[in-house]
Amino acid sequence: MSKRVTKNMQDEISAIKTFAVFIAIIAVIICIYFVIIKNIEPIEDKTVDIAGYSLSFDSDVYDIEIGQREKLDINFVSGNIVDTSLLYSSSDESVVSVDNNGYIDALSIGQAVIKAANAEGKLSAEITVVVHNTGELSSAMTTTTTAVTTAPVQTTTTVTTTTPIVIDWEVEVESIALSKSEISLDIWEIEMPMVTMLPSTAKDKSERWSSSDESIAVVDAYGNIRGVAPGQCVITVTSVNNPNLSASVNVIVSSSSLVEGVTFIDGIMVVNKSYPLPVDYVPQSTNDYGLDDMCYSAYLDMKSDAQDDGISLYISSAYRSYSTQSSLYSNYVANRGQQAADTFSARAGYSEHQSGLAIDVNEVSDAFIGTPEAIWLAEHAHEYGFIIRYPEGKSDITGYKYEPWHIRYVGIETATHLYENELTIEEYLGIDSVYAE
């Protein structure tokens, strides 16, 4: 009996020992987990953060004279961040405004904090921009430089603090002139005359442009004049500061060297299933996308304003050459058959993308339908001269299924007319879009 008891007690003690050892091992494992894994993980993350990404301005403070436009230098190490676009904002838009390319405009005396953040919001950097009166900055900077070489500490501080800020609104524009009195253009050709406003110290040298007949030639805010249809008209530039001052250029638009084989109807270049472009047609372009320059600058304006509304637009497809379109279409035919391919892809020569006036923005698929970007685009594209080229319910007229991402540049006036009257180019011009065979 006692033996059995002892045996039982020994068993119990041994069981307790085994249990204790088991607990100890678990405890050690938990400790190892917390000490090693838990501690190392954040350190590794932090290292990746520091080494992989960083965003900073070159300095903490930036001095600028009133009326100046300059680009802020920013250092962005993007690591493996996919969307490298930056969003800029100003603490006081009435003092310093900033666009999404980092260009600042010094609008009034004072200071504002400009903040840059990457699109995902992970990184941000700030810089204080101080707007000085005209001439004040250069004299302050010269004095500072002299002070540094002679007596470093004492004089530097007095310069910046004692200079009174006086706004000299007296310097007005006194004359305005254009480099040309006459310009000859072909339809769709662009030319920009140079403007000289005097005195050079005038505060507000901004320009306002207008055309006496927009059916003959149009002009944008920068003075790019484009021929629309044969005829003659007058383009005028006016000083915003002094609207009594203006200068004009006589514009003659001829149809003599119209690109052979390109169809213009009422000044609109038509490219659809009935009206192809010649094999060798290439748009006038100086941008990386091969887009018509006016179309591209209108797109940039739109993208920037969209960004202000929290809408991010990007180019998925812009200019496509005849040969690119040819292989694209052949691929679709091989995979989906010609009948299906013809509803969403153009045959070579029949694509609007060859005109340099069409852009596919964001996602080129039905997933784009109904997104905030698609809705914004449908509501605002016309304000920048674009139309949704292949709207919903009009595929019998346009020849293509609904494509909310495909926008076509036609100019603000035409785009607004088409938008307000819910018209396609085909309906507006009374034409069809059908392949001949």
Q: Which residue is nearest to Zn ion (CB)?
A: 406
Q: Is 360 in the site for Zn ion (CB under 5 A)?
A: yes
Say how far apart CA 308 and CA 119 lie, in whole Å. Answer: 13
Q: Is 273 in the site for Zn ion (CB under 5 A)?
A: no
Q: Is 363 in the site for Zn ion (CB under 5 A)?
A: no
Helix axes 372-380, 293-308, angle to 10 degrees: 120
Q: Which is nearer to Zn ion, 211 or 325 (CB)?
A: 325
Return the exposure string of 388-415: e unless at least 16 CB atoms fall within 10 Å of the residue's CB, then b. Answer: bbbbeebbebbbbebbbbbbbbbbbebb
The residue from 136, 207, 352, 403 that is catalytic is 403
> How far is residue 95 CA from its own chain's centroid?
23
For tokens 């290292």, what's the residue? 47
Q: Which is nearer to Zn ion, 65 or 360 (CB)?
A: 360
Say how far apart CA 358 and CA 381 lie, in whole Å. Answer: 12
The least CB distance from residue 351 to Zn ion, in Å, is 8
Return the exposure string of 236-270: e unless at least 16 CB atoms fall within 10 Å of the residue's CB, then b. Answer: ebbbebbeebebebebebeeeeebeebbbeebbbb
Q: Which is nearer to Zn ion, 136 or 352 (CB)?
A: 352
In the residue annotation, 403 being an active-site residue is answered as yes
For tokens 């000085």, what's the residue? 132
Say how far apart CA 2 and CA 359 lie, in whole Å. Answer: 96
Site residues for Zn ion, 330-349, by CB under 5 A, read none
Stretch that binds Zn ion, among 105-113, 280-288, 357-365, 417-425 (CB under 5 A): 357-365
Stretch that binds Zn ion, among 284-292, 366-374, 399-407, 424-432 (CB under 5 A): 399-407
Stretch that binds Zn ion, among 138-146, 207-215, 308-316, 401-409 (CB under 5 A): 401-409
Residues linked to residue 104 through DSSP beta bridges, in sequence order: 70, 98
The least CB distance from residue 377 to Zn ion, in Å, is 13
The least CB distance from residue 358 to Zn ion, in Å, is 6
The least CB distance from residue 345 to Zn ion, in Å, is 9
The least CB distance from residue 318 to Zn ion, in Å, is 9
The least CB distance from residue 406 to Zn ion, in Å, is 4
Q: Which is nearer to Zn ion, 67 or 404 (CB)?
A: 404
On whether the CB atoms of residues 276 and 325 are closer than 8 A, the answer is no
Q: 406, 408, 414, 425: which one contacts Zn ion (CB under 5 A)? A: 406
Say how far apart CA 62 and CA 69 lie, in whole Å. Answer: 13
On whether the CB atoms of residues 53 and 79 are closer than 8 A, the answer is yes
Residues linked to residue 57 through DSSP beta bridges, in sequence order: 74
Tokens representing residue 136 in the block: 């004040």
Stretch that binds Zn ion, among 70-78, 88-96, 112-120, 400-408 (CB under 5 A): 400-408
Site residues for Zn ion, 53-92, by CB under 5 A, read none
Residues forming contacts to Zn ion in the complex (CB under 5 A) are 360, 406
Q: Which residues are catalytic?
A: 403
